[in-house]
Structure 1
């Protein structure tokens, strides 16, 4: 396979959209760490590990409250959830390439992106037969199913299989089938539900058997970022979409009101992340505690029950999370401002990657905030 073909396949999986799939899993995993390891399932880092297959013992029976979820189990479920999200996203992207290609909606996507201003598509370019693109989508979907089955076995939540089937159907019917909902203005709603609520809350439940409000709040924010990314993409394609009967929100609203909607979908979740982060006042805590002469002291078991290195009575991971989260918040604000400015200048190609990177930045802001608030 030549270098040009590899670039074509890489473009078909749309790498700029992949952070949207990973971010909800990362945010939920960081948010639920304290719940799983110090909350209802353990209460202490000293407890012995629970069984790692079939999930935790049910309350109030068995070893509930007397065992600790294995860190290896937690990492395995998190990574498998990442696999589910990534492979489902790639499968959906390839299925969209196939469906839009055979419908003619990508007829302007067959040439060089530098000339057309739009990413090249496999099916529309004729570089690869539509059947091969569809086969690649099927393989990616199968890999997502394998990861999903592994999550089901490790957690014991067999209803995840039904949820996975719903996700597969939603991915295909976005622009595939006889009545694709993406052509009738429901794509943005589906993106909010699956890239926000389902991915974030599903990961939380897989790891902890619960979905607290803080996870739902995070899910709403990440879902809005995903909607914003789709709006940016559809603003770029608004003329072609209107020509081929693809009634996205941007087509229905028009460029003017569509621009406002896209900006709001990026600004609101950034503000939500800032609100959550500032509520923990991390820099104030660090500054106040840094004046304590005990900063840098390693406490023993008699003076520090956690047995960890602490800075001014604040665990080292809190200090790290405070500065990392602050850096991520600054990055999220900068990305949001840059994306909005690019949008207002009509530079959609420049705005799209910045909007995509906003998702992991916002996810890490939430994650660091919740780690510190534990």
Structure 2
């Protein structure tokens, strides 16, 4: 194993360490929360950019903390899929990865100060709670990711909370409809974690984790994933029927094929590498759904 990254590919090692395919889980909620605010106030683009960058930095830092603790607990090796691999494949020192995560937290904190100065200092409290949740997701003596509460935690903070903060810093208020709209996005963020846990079920079980996928078993976990997709789309239909949102939001149904691909992609698979396409499709469902939801609100706003 190398003791340091090769200079010609060093940037790629650090980029992969952020797990860039996961960063849309931070981008989509900020975009949606901001789009929802357009009906109520003038768009504050600097606040949007600060919130967007802070959220993506926290997401990247969370991934690095995950990489560090999964390595130190012996969960990751050179054959592990779905990881950045900086430690096990490229010889980056574990402490360097953890230090970089805290640096990203620090930058996010500075951005948070700007956001608070232009909105409310209560955001600082919520932001610190979010960073604590990000750390304790895989850090500390009782990691959230090793319990049945990983999906709920990720969905709550990366969906519900980020959408509401993004809306609040633009408008200075919270709206019930915004809270309801954030629920399907939160469910789909949780689905990403469930898909990850279905893929890693055997290895996680051997290492003593108690995730939902392990407790339900692979077959039932796949059914549960399908149910999460159905509920997410069902909430959109319910909101439209109730007259709380525009029928334009039904444009989100264009993402259903990805949800189907994600669900069926797990059936009959037992090897983690075989399930990577399904894992990817789950993340893409969240991304496409969130973008289409935002587009639906934009169409309604302008027309």
TM-score computed with the length of structure 2 as normaliser: 0.87
CA contact (8 A) 2:252 2:293 kept: no
2:178 to 207, 211, 215: 215
Q: Shift of the alpha carbon at 1:275?
A: 5.1
Cα distance, 1:277 vs structure 2: 6.0
CA contact (8 A) 1:222 1:359 kept: yes
Aligned match of 1:14 in 11, 19, 43?
19
1:255 and 2:178 matched: no
- 1:197 counterpart residue number: 160
Structure 2 residue aligned with 1:167: 130
Assess, with a 3 A threshold, how the Cα gap between structure 1 residues 281 and 30 changes in structure 2: closer, same or farther.
closer
The separation in 2 between residues aligned to 1:195 and 1:119, in whole angstroms, is 19
Which residue number in structure 1 is paired with residue 277 of structure 2?
A: 350
The answer as to whether partners of 2:246 and 2:300 remain within 8 angstroms in 1 is no
In the comparison of the two structures, how many residue pairs are matched?
290
The separation in 2 between residues aligned to 1:21 and 1:222, in whole angstroms, is: 11
Aligned equivalent of 1:123: 87
Q: CA RMSD in A?
A: 2.2
The reply on whether 1:30 has 2:35 as its aligned counterpart is yes
Give the drift of 1:255. Answer: 0.5
Matches within 5 A, 1:98-109: 98-107=68-77
CA contact (8 A) 1:339 1:350 kept: yes
What aligned pairs does 1:31-110 form with structure 2 within 5 A after superposition? 31-36=36-41, 69=42, 71=43, 74-107=44-77, 110=78
Distance 1:342 1:127 in 2: 33
Q: CA–CA distance in 2 between the matches of 1:97 and 1:78?
A: 29
Richer in helix (by share): 2
Counterpart in the other structure of 1:264: 227
Once the two structures are TM-superposed, the CA of residue 120 in structure 1 deviates from its matched residue by 5.0
Q: d(CA) in 2 for partners of 1:349 and 1:181?
A: 23
Distance of 2:288 and 2:235 partners within structure 1: 13
Q: Deviations over 1:115-167 (max 9, x none)?
A: x6554522333610011101110111112112211111121x01111111111
Cα distance in structure 1, aligned partners of 2:62 and 2:142: 16
> Are the structure 2 counterparts of residues 192 and 8 from structure 1 closer, same or farther at C-alpha, using a change threshold of 3 Å?
same
- Which has more radius of gyration? 1
Contact 2:67 2:84 in 1 (8 A): no
Written as runs of structure 1 = structure 2, the 5 A alignment for 1:181-330 is 181-273=144-236, 276=239, 329-330=252-253
Aligned to 2:3: none
User: 1:140: which partner in 2?
Assistant: 104
Distance 1:332 1:271, change over 3 A: farther
Structure 1, unmatched stretches of 5+, are 37-68, 283-321
- Deviation (angstroms), 1:170: 0.8
Moved more, 228-237 or 363-372: 363-372
- For residues 281 and 166 of structure 1, the distance between their equivalents in structure 2, rounded to whole angstroms, comes to 33
Q: Report Cα offsets for 1:37-72 as digits up to 9, x if no partner.
A: xxxxxxxxxxxxxxxxxxxxxxxxxxxxxxxx4x4x
